[in-house]
Amino acid sequence: MILIDAIYIHTHGGLTILDSFINGIEENPSVDINNFHFFIDDRIDISKTKRIKNYSIELVRANHFNRKKAYKKKINLATKIVCLANIPPPIKSSKPVYIYFHNLLLLDNKITYVTPYYFILNKLKLQYIKFFKHKFYKWVVQTSFMKNKLSEILKIDKKSINIYPFYSNEDINFKEKDFTSKSINFLCVTSSSKHKNLNNLVKSFMKAKLDVKKQFTLFITTNGNDIIKENIKIIYLGHIKRGEIISYYSKSHFVILPSLIESFGLPIIEGIKSGSNVLISNIDSLKEICVPSISFNPTSTKDIVSAIEIAGSLSYQEESILTIKNEINNFINLINRDV
């Protein structure tokens, strides 16, 4: 039995990883789904998680003691352990262990990125990870940048870290966009977290000097009060369902990601696949994902304004190009080997 630990996965980003993982299992012909047992965070609605009901699952309350109790019940049945939420098992194990690490905020934790509460919480989480890590465990990350950072902060041998980015965007179809349209749409798929840098984006969009003969709209997937100023609109969509997000990808000419720090940047991948061009922060963690149409300094409203104006006037040089590929099959084969 391969034990899949998805405890602590309960936010949208984490659930995307879980859904992508399950999708990868089911598309891999060498895998027997009966070999998998899932620990699932009891905070999530499992009816919204694709096909999880087809598997052996156990709902576990997300804390150290309940997690440890669940492990003790199943550890002797497990041939391998896969932790999908950054954190090693709560008990030392001689079984092969793979930890999928995808939260850069734990490694690069700064008060400018998060609130004081999360700054302290992230420090405690990192200490917990350091305590339970083991030199024989294997780690899996999404980019070379993350591999180097993980090795540096946790003192892990780079030979123990594999790079297997994975995602699922089969529900997004390419659509030819009319960039000469009289109505140009920007989309920011995001959350209200401090590091997402939404205040700078909103200020910059309202300051941008854009063609008065056209209508420019920025859609943001958080709650807020809509803003309308002459030919510029900012529309807050709230927390919308996946199908609605896809429809906004379809109607948007540009996807913008102004984050101060970003672990992977899935909206970049989804935006490019939908036919949009992307405007992104010029931070190191995103440089492996794509060649953007425009990059900017996320701490400078002047730079963000310039990026928006360049996009609005179509004066950038290139269409955006995706430079990362989905390696879910390699990851599944890694953990399924010799089972």
Answer yes or no: do 34 and 61 share one domain.
yes
53, pLDDT greater than 80: no
Q: What would the pLDDT profile of 81-126 be if each residue is shown by its tens digit?
A: 999 999 999 998 889 999 999 999 999 999 999 999 999 999 999 9
Answer yes or no: do 158 and 32 share one domain.
yes
Answer yes or no: do 212 and 296 share one domain.
yes
Answer yes or no: do 160 and 190 share one domain.
no
Q: What would the pLDDT profile of 16-26 be if each residue is shown by its tens digit?
A: 888 889 888 88
What are the φ/ψ torsions at residue 108 (nearest 5 degrees)?
-125, 70
**Secondary structure tally for the chain: helices H, strands E:** 10, 16
Answer yes or no: do 155 and 7 share one domain.
yes
Domain holding 253, by residue range, is 183-322
The answer to whether residues 106 and 119 touch, using CB atoms and an 8 Å cutoff, is no
DSSP string, 136-199: T-EEEESSHHHHHHHHHHHT--GGGEEE------TT-------TT-SEEEEEE---S-GGG-HH
For the chain, give the percent of residues with pLDDT over 70.
99
Answer yes or no: do 36 and 161 share one domain.
yes
Q: How many domains does the chain have?
A: 2
Residue holding tokens 């040089």?
Answer: 317
Q: Which pair of tokens denotes residue 308? A: 């928006």
Answer yes or no: do 161 and 207 share one domain.
no
**Domain-located, residue 122:** yes
Q: What would the pLDDT profile of 226-280 be if each residue is shown by its tens digit?
A: 999 999 999 999 989 889 999 999 999 999 999 999 999 999 999 999 999 999 9
Write down the H helix ranges in the chain.
Answer: 12-27, 64-74, 104-107, 116-132, 144-154, 198-207, 242-251, 266-273, 301-312, 328-336
**Domain-located, residue 176:** no
Answer yes or no: do 131 and 38 share one domain.
yes
Residue 334, classed as helix, strand or coil, is helix
pLDDT band of 50, cuts 50, 70, 90: low
Answer yes or no: do 144 and 252 share one domain.
no
**Domain-located, residue 307:** yes
Number of Cβ within a 10 Å radius of residue 210: 18
Mean pLDDT of the chain: 93
